[in-house]
Amino acid sequence: MEVDSINQETKNMKRNAVLVDGVVLNGPIIDSCAGEKFVEEVCRILMNEVVQKATDSSEKVCEWQDPEQLKKLLDLNLRENGETHQKLLQICRNAIKYSVKTSHPRFFNQLYAGMDHYSLAARFITEAMNPSVYTYEVSPVFILIEEAVLKKMIEFIGWEEGDGIFSPGGSVSNMYAVNLARYNYCPDIKEKGLSQAPRLVMFTSEECHYSMKKAAAFLGIGTHNVYFVKTDDRGKMIPEELEMQVDRAHKEGAVPFLVLATSGTTVVGAFDPLDEIADICDKHKLWLHVDASWGGSALMSRKYRKLLHGIHRANSVAWNPHKMLMAGIQCCALLVKDNTGLLKRCHSAEASYLFQQDKFYDVRYDTGDKSIQCSRRADAFKFWMMWKALGTMGLEERVNRALALSRYLASEIKKRNGFELLWEPEYANICFWYIPPSFRNIEKGPAYWQKLHQVAPVIKERMMKKGSLMVGYQPHQDKVNFFRLIVISPQVSREDMDFVLDEMELLGRDL
């Protein structure tokens, strides 16, 4: 009976067909039933192959394939006709199989790791709802959630009031800050451009994130006008050197306008002395931005928030909850101390098709004109959902445990023959050399360092091809290649820390 009804409906549609430019406009062209079944199957694969295996240390961290081989395995060609659902489901399985398992307990490669199930569920919702967070009329729930999250983050910085926006990455947050600082100093640049602007100079440390140079290039300030300030042996900006660089800029006839401090440098995990830097900024009337993309989450911990002492004196802060707090990439906020609408005045274009002022609701909730974007993801929702689930105490515990594990690993490195710790960890970055047995009685001259420089890349290749763990390496200033291990995930155990050292010994003892 049901089949007869469907057939009759199809006949009626054909009989009453409306053609425009040869296209039949009757009825949908998407097979919703088949699509829903496909989504169900993919969700089942996600649960079985990703979520349930996320904490299984017996699984491989990665299934390494060389690029040309992986191209064949993935069947990257796009064809005239669509593939069958069975083929598509296999593509989904392959995408999971050959991707790096960043939720694996032995993934220590980047400044993000692990899986938070509440954040993941929130991401499923936003992907399904497909919102764009620019006006209240199209994104009422996520506009209000973003406002609530920003208000709470501002509170943790120590400001009584403020403003902010979620952005697509810490690099973009830093770029926002440079643009804001410049607009605050010289608002005419927004309309008149750079032709009549003075030579503006910004200051940051030698250990800063590379996005500072990119911001200077992108915004027309010029990378030569980024003055890099020397750091001490722990990677912290030296305030006296900053003062000297500001004086140098004045003597050159340039106009200093911005200092970019770092709370949690990428390699070493160093925290600049914010109070002393703020004193210099106050003296010279400079905007102070703190890139706390990595280290900002220490504010959640009563024990470790002292690392960011003085951050309340900053004019703006970048903070990425997708790093230490595991809110899921991407989840990044720019926070601004000003509450007079500076963020909006700097970036607004007043598009009349979006930001009409005669709407039937309070248009202050149309926050999109504060952003340099138009379409914008609801990134605050996953952080809000995770915070609701765990509470502030749960987030604090996450930070404290990661840093406790970091200190445990550092202490074990110092005990083990063949391992050398470069710095005592201030945060969750543990930097060390593995020294193979054949190196241990060699005098530490140029030949020794040249040979040691080659050890980390070989061990990295071996661990990747074996799939046993992932740890990053790099040279840094006068240091030859060393490992930088990052501890984040609460799924990491003490046994995993011990495994890292045992496995590196196994992979590198023949070198």
Q: What is the CATH number of the domain that holds 201?
A: 3.40.640.10
Same domain, 504 and 461: yes
Where b means 16+ CB within 10 Å and e means fewer, 20-54 reads: eeeeeeeeeeeeeeeeeeeeeeeeebeeebeeeeb
Determine contact, residues 393/157, Cβ cutoff 8 Å: no
Q: How far apart are CA 185 and CA 259, in angstroms?
A: 13
In a domain, 95, yes or no: no
Same domain, 176 and 292: yes
Q: Residue 262 carries which side chain, given as an amino acid letter?
A: T
Same domain, 278 and 248: yes
First-to-final CA distance of the chain: 75
In a domain, 117, yes or no: yes
Same domain, 156 and 303: yes
Determine contact, residues 233/270, Cβ cutoff 8 Å: no
Tokens of 384: 């809000």
Q: How far is CA 4 from the centre of its chain?
A: 55
Same domain, 122 and 205: no
Q: Are strands 332-336 and 419-421 parallel, antiparallel or unpaired?
A: unpaired
Determine contact, residues 422/431, Cβ cutoff 8 Å: yes
Cα-Cα-Cα-Cα dihedral sign, residues 343, 349, 353, 358: positive
Determine contact, residues 123/377, Cβ cutoff 8 Å: no
3-state secondary structure of 289: strand
Q: Residue 10 carries which side chain, given as an amino acid letter?
A: T
In a domain, 9, yes or no: no
In a domain, 22, yes or no: no
Q: How far apart are CA 225 and CA 49, in angstroms?
A: 49
In a domain, 76, yes or no: no
Same domain, 307 and 221: yes
Which of 377, 403, 426 is the last residue in one of the domains? 377
In a domain, 12, yes or no: no
Which of 358, 377, 396 is the last residue in one of the domains? 377
- Residue 230 is given by DSSP the state P
Longest dimension (CA), the chain: 91
Which of 377, 395, 428 is the last residue in one of the domains? 377
In a domain, 275, yes or no: yes
Same domain, 332 and 360: yes
Q: Is 450 exposed, middle or buried (0-12, 13-18, 19+ CB in 10 A)?
A: exposed
Range of the domain at 292: 132-377
Q: What is the pLDDT along the chain (511 residues), one digit of tens a residue?
A: 444 555 555 555 556 778 887 787 877 777 889 989 999 999 999 999 999 998 888 999 999 999 999 999 999 999 999 999 999 999 999 999 999 999 999 999 999 999 999 999 999 999 999 999 999 999 999 999 999 999 999 999 999 999 999 999 999 999 999 999 999 999 999 999 998 889 999 999 999 999 999 999 999 999 999 999 999 999 999 999 999 999 999 999 999 999 999 999 999 999 999 999 999 999 999 999 999 999 999 999 999 999 999 999 999 999 999 999 999 999 999 999 999 999 999 999 998 988 889 889 899 998 999 999 999 999 999 999 999 999 999 999 999 999 999 999 999 999 999 999 999 999 999 999 999 999 888 888 898 999 999 999 999 999 999 999 999 999 998 999 999 999 999 999 999 999 999 999 999 989 8
Give one DSSP letter per residue of 241-267, joined into a string: HHHHHHHHHHHTT-EEEEEEEEBS-TT
Q: How far apart are CA 470 and CA 496, in angstroms?
A: 12
Q: How far apart are CA 367 and CA 345, in angstroms?
A: 12
Determine contact, residues 178/216, Cβ cutoff 8 Å: yes
Determine contact, residues 68/18, Cβ cutoff 8 Å: no
3-state secondary structure of 432: strand
In a domain, 176, yes or no: yes
Same domain, 365 and 440: no
Angle among Cα 359, 362, 367 to the nearest 5 degrees reads 95
Residue carrying the six token digits 């306008």: 257
Same domain, 245 and 348: yes
CATH of the domain at 399: 3.90.1150.170
Same domain, 223 and 337: yes
Q: How far is CA 306 from the centre of its chain?
A: 23
pTM: 0.93
Same domain, 150 and 112: no
Same domain, 139 and 288: yes
Instruction: List alpha helices for 467-510, DSSP H.
Output: 494-508
Tokens of 185: 């100093």
- Number of domains comprising the chain: 2
